[in-house]
Each structure stands twice: as structure tokens, then as C-alpha cells.
Structure 1
Amino acid sequence: MSATGSIVRQIRWQAHQNSNIEVPENTMAAMRYAWDLGGIPELDIRQTGDGVIVGIHDSTLRRTTDAPAEERDRPIAEMTFGQLQRWDAGLPFGEAFRGERIPSLDDVLAVLAAHPDRELYLDYKEVDLAKMAALIGQRGVGRQIIFAHRDHENCKKVKRLAPEVRTMMWVPGSVPEATIRAYENARETGFDSLDIIQIHLVDDDNRESGWRYRVGRDFLQTVYRQLTEAGMELEVLIARFDQDTLFDLLDLGIRRFAVDEPKVFLQTLDRYPQS
């Protein structure tokens, strides 16, 4: 076992989907890829016109499929699941992924149910939450699901509908004052119905110190301490990072991450010195 073995076992990481550059996002290939690397895939969820919950980030097919011009800008909410299945969601990424289709949530949950050791993030875009909760209940995978959204009220609703599902409120990090305000608002409720808080770490282009992000180190350290005391977890989304940055975050005690480049993340993590 490598020197970092015990640290690696403590880490939980999300394969963030909407800008993943290693596999085509929101496909079964992306799910398998993250699971095979030991991570947790994210599925962005929307609902079709005929009521099927599917995995896709955008409201149209334009960016992630080979749909023709007359179809690519139609709202997902106005199309049937059968119509979505006509178009390839892997080919625009590369020939190796030809044949990948937009998956239904139920298809992904069926795989999850067959592997109780696996987990899945569901990032809410636009779905009937009661229908989502019912599907999760039917497959018996509530303990394997982490529901993610920036709206605290939606997290509360999911916790009422499916108490076994963990809920994660994500907080944008572009404007530190707004980040702090959103976090404090949740804290004032006693973190009602929340299990995890995710903070997006955005690069500070005008930084003069050795700290990379707009959200300050001291704030992150305080949040980590308060969430730990509350029996919760802090997750950070690091779209950009280098070795020093990741090591700084690990030194703060953070053990939950969301990343766009899983292999780069794991290679960097393996160099973290075990104290």
C-alpha cells in the first residue's frame, strides 16, 4: 500500500458532469467511468414531456448530442423520451463513445441497485421531486443517493419525501459575500434537512497571496469546523487546482471533493505526503 493509502480511503469525490473532459457527460459511460475509478458520478436530471426523468445538464440537445438543426434547440420538456433516444450522446465527444444515449434515471438506478457499494449524485435541474423520490424508493437505493441543489427548500422537500436520501446544498463561490450569506442562512436553520454543503471554489484572478480562490481559507476552515461539529460534511468543487492547492485543502481537513478531471485529481492525490 502506498504512503497515501489511508488518506485515499478517506476521500469521497464526485465526478462533476457538466464540464467533464474525460468522458461524455451524463451517459452510462460516464457513470461507469467514475464508479470504476472509485468515485461517485453525478447525473443532472430533467424531465421529458411524457414524464420520464433523464440525465442531461442543458435544457436542449444542442451541446451534448448529434441532434440535427431542427431538433437541437427544442426544449427537453417538450420532447418524449423516445424522441431523445434517436440522437447519439457519445459521438460528439469521440468515435469511441458512439452509441451512447441520454439515459433515463430509472436505468441508472437499476445499475445502482445491483451494486450496493456504489453511490450517485443527483443534481436537480427540472423534475417532479415526488416522482424522483418514488423511483428511488421503488429501486431501494435511497441510502446510495445524494441529492444536490442550491435551493435549500428543495433539499428540505426531498428529505421529507425520501428521508434516506442525503441532501447537499451547493453554494456558488464567485462572490464571496454571497457565499458567506448563503451559508449563514442555512446555518441559522440549524442546517435543516442538510447532510453536506458544497462550496464552489472559483479562481481569484487578482490574488496576491498564495491562496488561489475567491472564497478565503479562513472562511473554509470555519465552515469545516462548524459542519464537523454538526455531524455534517463540507465538500468543495475545484474546477481548477494544482498540487499545492489540493494539498492546502487536504491540510485543512477537507475530505470531500467535486472534480472535472478525475484522473488528474487521483494522480495528484497520490502524491500527498502522509504525516
Structure 2
Amino acid sequence: MVLREEIWWKSVKWQAHQNSNSEMPENTLAAVNYAWELGGIPELDIRQTVDGTIVGLHDATPERTTNAPAADKDKLVSTLTYEQLCAWDAGIKFGEQFQGERIPDLEHIFKVLAEHAERELYLDYKSVDLESLAELIGKYGVARQLIFAHNDHGNCSAMKRLVPEVRTMLWISGRVPETLMRTCTEVLEGDSSTLDIIQLHLVDEEAATEGEWRYRVPQSYVADTLAQLEERGLELEVLPFHFADRDVFELLDMGIRRYAVDEPKRFVEVLQRYFE
């Protein structure tokens, strides 16, 4: 049997996707540590408060994921101080066992990263001053441990110019497969020198029957994109929003070694079965 570190830390890389994470309260320290403990790479969606603190939060307001009071729940994060955000519980809505979790500030997580060179972190850009982010990265020397992700090539390029050591990932939505394929083709035909990874979203094809390729984006297109990226020295990452063993096995058989998943623990169990 292949050893754990050979499978998950060297062969297969996976991101614990936050916005749809079904196992932990998203964008919390609990979720970050959970991914690291499982051998994966946590993701943090990043925004900036009015007093300049970069925090982990997907939405523009605290309404969905915290117990912010009615008077504050619809206020933009960019108009709130970090002290205000810290007053609200970011775990209780997910489950009572997570009561007390708070919206994390990125500097705290960077401190931990700086002490553990083997750990990595995805930063999914929402609304942050990139120069402030670059300054914070430089302060803790964690550039090589970071993957900056966004769906705008321009923002990835801007981050790469500010901190060349940071890896950049362009994610491309797959809800409309023709749009995904057109966007990906345009990137491959253009200048991709400021990118390190391209992520394709794999959304279920509702008409697919058991035993068939599960996703809307054709399997042949995924395989061809993998080959083209490898020729350019880039990596392909896929985000299968739903998966069974067979689906992950197919992707692994194609040679894909980078994933984003909403169910980290279950994904790790599938990997274990594949490599047994």
C-alpha cells in the first residue's frame, strides 16, 4: 500500500473549498486547521475591513455565516472594523460544537504558516488592496506557500507582478460548459505567463446516466486541456462539485493530480481506496 505522505502530500494536491464546505464552518480557523490535519490545502476567501485588516469571509456582508444582529448583518465588510466583526460568532450557525469560532484575520494565519514551511494556503480574492496583501506576505515570508486564486486573469497578473513567488490560479466556472471552454481556450491562446494553475469547475450533467462521464464539460476537453497545460509547464486543477469513487478514479486515471473539494474527509477516503 502507498504511504499516506506519498499519496496526499507528494502525488495528489487538494484544496478544501470553503464556500460550499459541508464538513466545517467556512472561513474559520477550525476549517483551516481541519484541512491541514487531513493533509490538504485550506482556502480562505479574503476581504478587507474599513481599518485595513484582511479577513477570511466569502460574502460581502456577515449575514449568512455569522450571528451578526439585525442592525449589522447587511452592512458591508468594507464599512466595518475588525473589532466589530470579531464580536460575532462565525461557527454557531454551522453547529453548536463550533460556537465561539470567529472571522479570522489573515495575519494570524500567516504567523502559523511561517512556522510550518510544509503547509500551504489558497487565497481566493474577493475585495482586498493587493499592495497591502503583498506587504503582509513580505512581512512573514510566506510567498512560496501561497496560491492566489481569482476568476479575473488581470488580478492574477497584478498579484504576480507584486509578489512573483506567489503561485496564481485562474478559476473558470463550468455551469455553462461552452463559456468555460471558450474562456479557457482564450487563456491558452493568449499570454499565460503570469499563471501557474488553471482550475476548471466540473458541474454535473443532469442527463448523465450511471456509468457515463458525470460532468457537463466533455471528458475529452478536460484531457486535452491537461495536455496543453503540461506542455506550458502549468497545472490543471478540477473542482468536481459532486463525486463518487468512480468519478475521482476517472480523473486520477487521466493524470489529474490537483483538486478542489467540498467534502475533504470523504475525498481523502476515496483517495485511500484508489491507492490501496
Q: TM-score, normalised by structure 2?
A: 0.96
Aligned to 2:213: 211
Q: Does 1:234 align with 2:228?
A: no
Alpha-carbon spacing, 1:33–1:3, altered in 2? closer, same or farther (3 Å): closer
When structure 1 is superposed on structure 2, of 12-21 and 209-218 the one drifting more is 209-218
- Structure 2: state its 5+ residue gaps: none
Q: Which runs of 4 or more aligned residues in structure 1 lie more than 6 Å from their structure 2 counterparts after TM superposition?
A: none
Residue in 2 aligned with 1:74? 75
Deviation at 1:192, TM superposition (A): 2.4
Cα offsets for 1:9-30 (capped at 9, x unmatched): 4000000000111111101111
The number of aligned residues is: 274
How far is the alpha carbon of 1:69 from its aligned partner?
1.2
2:12 alignment partner AA: I
- For residue 128 of structure 1, report the CA deviation from its aligned partner: 0.5
RMSD: 1.5
* 2:7 and 2:275 in contact (8 A); partners too: no
Q: Distance in 2 between matches of 1:101 and 1:211?
A: 40
Contact 1:65 1:89 in 2 (8 A): yes
Q: Distance in 2 between matches of 1:3 and 1:111?
A: 26
**Equivalence for 1:85:** 86
Closer/same/farther in 2, CA of residues 3 and 98 from structure 1, 3 Å limit: closer
Indicate conservation of the 8 Å contact 1:29/1:100, yes or no: yes
What is the 5 A alignment of 1:108-123? 108-123=109-124
Provide the rounded CA distance (Å) in 2 between the counterparts of 1:202 and 1:249. Answer: 14
d(CA) in 2 for partners of 1:4, 1:81: 39
SS of 1:170's equivalent? strand
Residue in structure 2 matched with residue 272 of structure 1 by the alignment: 274
Q: Following superposition of structure 1 onto structure 2, how do residues 40-189 of structure 1 map, counting pairs within 5 Å?
A: 40-189=41-190
Aligned counterpart, 1:253: 255
Q: Which stretches in structure 1 are left out of the alignment for 5+ residues?
A: none
Kept after mapping to 2: 8 A contact 1:198/1:234: yes
TM-score by length of 1: 0.96
Deviation at 1:7, TM superposition (A): 4.1
Task: State the percentage of identical aligned residues.
Answer: 56
Partner of 1:244: 246
Contact kept, 8 Å, 1:4 with 1:271, in 2: the verdict is no
- Write the deviation string for residues 243-271 of structure 1: whole angstroms up to 9, x where unpaired: 11000000110000000001110111111
- The offset of 1:115, in angstroms, is 0.7
